[in-house]
Structure 1
Amino acid sequence: MRHPAQRLFVYGVLIRELAKGRAGELIAGLDAGRPASVRGRLYALESAADGGWYPILLPESDGGIVRGILHDARSVDWPAMDDFEDAHDGPDAEYVRREIAVTLADGASATAFVYCYARSIPADAEPIPGGDFAAWLSQTGRVAIGGRE
């Protein structure tokens, strides 16, 4: 029997420096994590609720580099995390939790759970060149969403 990933790769509002509100609560018990990356395309969406931005990831083995943090996930409350990410079995889910390949800064490989966008890319989605959501926020003067409830 295959064991599920015991790691979580975060690339957006679950990064400690960006996590506010419920996001901050959900990651409070995680380790400091290690810089890592996945392959794919990263976009930003503006939240109609608070005007902040959040990223969407489309994993692609031949895509660009998407930067984030790899955490030990043994303490994650997966049902609560899935609820926060709107990752469920219904047709209107915004994200899906998938196990994908992750590369650590030292070149080591691992697999981790990653929340990947489950819908078609919205017309107003902004590509994030360089695949680094936090850097994109800083460069554009935009802010991350205040937190999903």
Structure 2
Amino acid sequence: MRFFLYGTLLAGSGNGVATDLHRKLAPGSPAEARGSLFAVPDPDGWYPALMHDPEGGPVRGVMHETLPPFSEADLAALDAYEGADYVRAEIPVEDGGLTFMAHAWVWAGALPSGAEPVPDGDFAAFLMRRGLRGFGFAG
């Protein structure tokens, strides 16, 4: 199973859910999906909202494949972590000039008040530029 990760589940964030997940993923490679990316404020840190659109701009992330210890229980735990605001969908992802289908959690409804566009499609860079902390990130 392939995943396109673009936000709080990226490796190295210090997010405990991400740390556990990456023990069951092969090393990833830079990849892009198409759509619009927004940053959503929360008292526990900012999180990204990907609005998938094949005609949209690039959204930067990393594509990973699962390793054999990954299970249906792991997938259910990830769906629960993402919550009702997201739906897991298989979307086209570009990696090294090739297009693959990968699972990603995309925003499921209207954006909440305070959501900010991330014009360059890079959530990690948005957080760094603004000096903000991502949802569940250490520190």
Report sequence identity in percent: 41
Q: How many residues align?
A: 133
1:55 match:
48
**TM-score (norm: length of structure 1):** 0.84
CA RMSD, 1 decimal: 1.4
1:134 match:
124
**TM-score (norm: length of structure 2):** 0.89
Equivalents in 1 of 2:65, 2:36: separation in Å?
24
Q: Secondary structure of 1:123's partner?
A: coil
Structure 1 residue ranges, 4+ long, deviating more than 6 angstroms after superposition: none
Q: C-alpha displacement at 1:139, in angstroms?
A: 0.9
Equivalents in 1 of 2:90, 2:114: separation in Å?
27
Equivalents in 2 of 1:68, 1:18: separation in Å?
13
Residues 9-88 of structure 1 mapped to structure 2, 5 A cutoff: 9-48=4-43, 50=44, 52-74=45-67, 75=70, 77-86=74-83
After TM superposition, the structure 1 stretch with the greater mean CA deviation from structure 2, 61-70 or 15-24, is 15-24
Judging changes above 3 Å, is the alpha-carbon distance between structure 1 residues 26 and 60 closer, same or farther for their aligned structure 2 residues?
Answer: same
Equivalents in 1 of 2:41, 2:110: separation in Å?
16
Question: Is the contact between residue 12 and residue 18 of structure 1 (CA under 8 Å) also seen in structure 2?
Answer: no
Q: C-alpha displacement at 1:28, in angstroms?
A: 2.4
The answer to whether the aligner puts 1:103 opposite 2:114 as a matched pair is: no
Question: Is the contact between residue 13 and residue 19 of structure 1 (CA under 8 Å) also seen in structure 2?
Answer: no
Equivalents in 2 of 1:7, 1:24: separation in Å?
17
Equivalents in 2 of 1:19, 1:117: separation in Å?
23
